[in-house]
Amino acid sequence: MRKILIIEDDRVDREIYKHCLKHSNAPEFDFAESGWAAGGIELSKSWGPDCILLDFNLPDMDGLEVLPRLRGEDGRLPCAVVMLTACGGEELAVNAMKAGAMDYLPKGQVSAEVLPHKVVHAIERFQMLQRIDEQRSALERSAQQYQTLLEAIPQMVWMANANGRVEYANSQWFEYTGFKFDRPGQFPWHELLLPEDRESTANAWAEARRAGSVFEIEHRLKRASDESFRWHLVRAVPVRAAGAVTNWFGTCTEIEGRKQAEAAHLQEEKLQSIGLLAAGIAHDFNNLLVVILGGASYAMGTLPASHKAQSMLHEVVRAGERAAELTRKMLAYAGKANQYIEPTDLNKLVSDTCDQLRTSVPEGIEFKVSPGQDLPSVTTDSRQMRQVIVDLVMNALEAIREGSAGTISVRTAAVELDEGSMSDVGAGRYVELEVQDTGCGMNEETQKKIFDPFFSTKFTGRGLGLAAVHGFVRSSGGGVEVDSAPGKGTRFRVLLPVMS
C-alpha cells in the first residue's frame, strides 16, 4: 500500500486524482488530503506519505514556497513530490524540479494512464536517490573514519598509486620530516634519504612495483628536529583489484633503537673475541719478556760497567720495559690485568695527574680542570685510572693541531642515571669523568673504531691507549661514551659506579 498525500484546494481535482489512481493497474494506494498548504505540510510530518501531489496554486502559498517548508531538519524532502498546475509552462517545470520535485504534470494531462505512471515513477526515483544519498553519506563517514585511523596510527603512513607515485602521507610523516607536498608526485623521499641509501632504495622500490610484491627495506631517513639520519623500516603492500595492483599502502617505522642494540651487541661480541686473543697473546708475551729482561739484567750485572755491551743491554731493558707496558695495556683492554682495587678519591687523582700533565700542554692551549662538588668515592685501581686520565688528555692534545689554539677541559661530577637514560651503562649512581677538547673532531665512521686495538688515524701500530681505557673501565663496571663531530671537537665521558 502506497500512501499518497494530495495538497489541492479544488475538491473536484482531488477526486479526479484519487479516481485515476484507484482505477489503474498500479499497486493499491491510501490517501490523505488537504485543501491548504499549511495543513498539507503538517500531514506530511505526521502521516509519512510516499508521494505528495502538490498543486502549484494554493490559497495560502504557491507550490514553490511549499517545497522548502516540507524539508526536515536534515534539509531533505520527506518523500517524492509531483507538482500539478492548471497553467504554467516550461519555466515553472524547471523551477519545480530544481526545488526538489520528482516530476511535473499539467492538470490537463492527468489521466488514469498518465498519473499512476508519474506517481510510481516519482516514488521509485525518490527511493533510488535516497539510497544513493545514504550510500554517499556512508562512504563519506567511512572515508572520515579511515582518515582518522591513519592519523591515529603512531607511525608514518603513506599511500601510492599503481605507478608508485605517492599521493598521501599522514601528519606523522610531515611532523617527522618537516616536508609537505602540494600535489601528487612531489614526495621528497630522495632528498630525505642518506645519500648511501638512495640507490638501493630506488632499485628495491622499482623491483617491487615490477613484480607486484611486498616492498621492504631498511634505510636512514633525516629527522627535521635535529637533521640526524635515523634507521627506519619501510614496508608497502600492493592492493589489488581483479588481479591488478591498483595502489600501495605503506608504513615507515623508526628502528634506530633496535639498530643501536644490534650494533652494541656485535661490538660486545667483537670486543670479547679480541679481548680473549689479546689476553692470550699478552700472557705468552709477558712470559717471554720475563726471560728477556731477566737475561739482560743478569748480563748487565755480570759484565764490567765499562763493557761495550752495556749500552746495548741497557737498550734491551728499556725496550723490554716498553713492551711490558704494552702487555699491561693489552691485559687492561681484555679486562684481565692485575688490579689493586681500593676506594679512590677521583677529584684528588684527577688534580694530581693533571698537575703533572700541565708541562706537556703547549702554549696557546688552555687546560681547565673543574672538580665536582661532594664527589662520592669509587672503587677502582687508582694506578690504571691515572693512566686513563693521561690517555684521554694526551688524545685531546693530539686532536688540537700543532701550533693551534684550543681548550682542553677536564671535569668530574656525580650523576644519577635512570632506566630511560640513553647511556650504555645501567641505571644507578655514577661518578663521571669528562675530558673535552676543541680539536678536529671525528666523523661517525671513526667513532665506531676508536676503541678497537691498534686502530689509529695517524699510522699503523698506534691506538692501543683508548682500547685499554675502554677495557679497564668496562671491567670496573662502568662505561665510556664519546660525542664528536668534524670541526666541533670531542667529548669523552667515563662513568664509574659509586662505591656501595
Task: List CB contacts of 62: < 8 A, sequence separation 6 or more.
Answer: 56
Can you tell me whether residue 179 is helix, strand or coil?
coil
Same domain flag for 263 and 249:
no
- Whether residue 464 is predicted with pLDDT greater than 60 in this model: the reply is no
Q: Give the CATH number for residue 134.
A: 3.40.50.2300
Same domain flag for 355 and 479:
yes
Residue 449: alpha-carbon gap to chain centroid? 28
Q: How many domains does the chain have?
A: 4
Same domain flag for 491 and 362:
yes
Q: Which amino acid is at 389?
A: I
Q: Which of 59-73, 103-117, 201-215, 305-319 has the lowest mean pLDDT?
A: 305-319
Q: Which of 375, 457, 448, 372 is nearest to 409 (CA)?
A: 372
For residue 460, what pLDDT band results from cuts at 50, 70 and 90?
A: very low
C-alpha radius of gyration, the chain, whole number: 44
- Reduce the secondary structure of 468-485 to three states and give it as a string: HHHHHHHHCCCEEEEEEC
Q: Which of 377, 391, 286 is nearest to 337 (CA)?
A: 286
Tell me how far apart the alpha carbons of residues 116 and 473 are, in angstroms, rounded to a whole number: 98
| pLDDT tens figures, 197-233 | 999 999 999 999 999 899 999 999 988 888 889 999 9
Q: Which domain holds residue 404?
A: 341-497
Q: What is the mean pLDDT of residues 97-120?
A: 91
Same domain flag for 485 and 360:
yes
Strands 80-85 and 103-106: parallel
Task: Please say which residue of 146, 180, 213 terminates a domain.
Answer: 146
Task: List CB contacts of 333: < 8 A, sequence separation 6 or more.
Answer: 274, 275, 278, 453, 464, 467, 468, 470, 471, 472
Same domain flag for 277 and 130:
no
Same domain flag for 8 and 125:
yes
Q: Which of 147-151, 404-408, 462-466 has the lowest mean pLDDT?
A: 462-466
Which CB contacts under 8 angstroms, 24+ apart, belong to 103-107?
Answer: 107/13
Same domain flag for 206 and 289:
no
Can you tell me whether residue 103 is helix, strand or coil?
strand
Task: Please say which residue of 310, 334, 358 terminates a domain.
Answer: 334
Q: What proportion of the chain, given as a percentage, has pLDDT over 90?
A: 31
Q: What is the mean pLDDT of residues 339-358?
A: 86
What angle (nearest 5°) sits at the alpha carbon of residue 85, between those of residues 80 and 87?
150
Share the mean pLDDT of the chain.
83
Task: Please say which residue of 87, 111, 146 terminates a domain.
Answer: 146
Provide the whole-model pTM.
0.45
For residue 115, what pLDDT band results from cuts at 50, 70 and 90?
A: very high
Other residues' Cβ atoms within 10 Å of the Cβ of residue 427: 12
| pLDDT tens figures, 282-333 | 666 667 777 787 888 888 888 888 888 888 888 888 887 777 766 666 666 5
Other residues' Cβ atoms within 10 Å of the Cβ of residue 281: 14
Same domain flag for 414 and 360:
yes
Q: Give the CATH number for residue 449.
A: 3.30.565.10
Answer with the residue of higher pLDDT: 378 or 337: 378
Tell me how far apart the alpha carbons of residues 242 and 427 are, in angstroms, rounded to a whole number: 56
Same domain flag for 180 and 141:
no
Same domain flag for 212 and 324:
no
Same domain flag for 141 and 162:
no
Same domain flag for 219 and 202:
yes
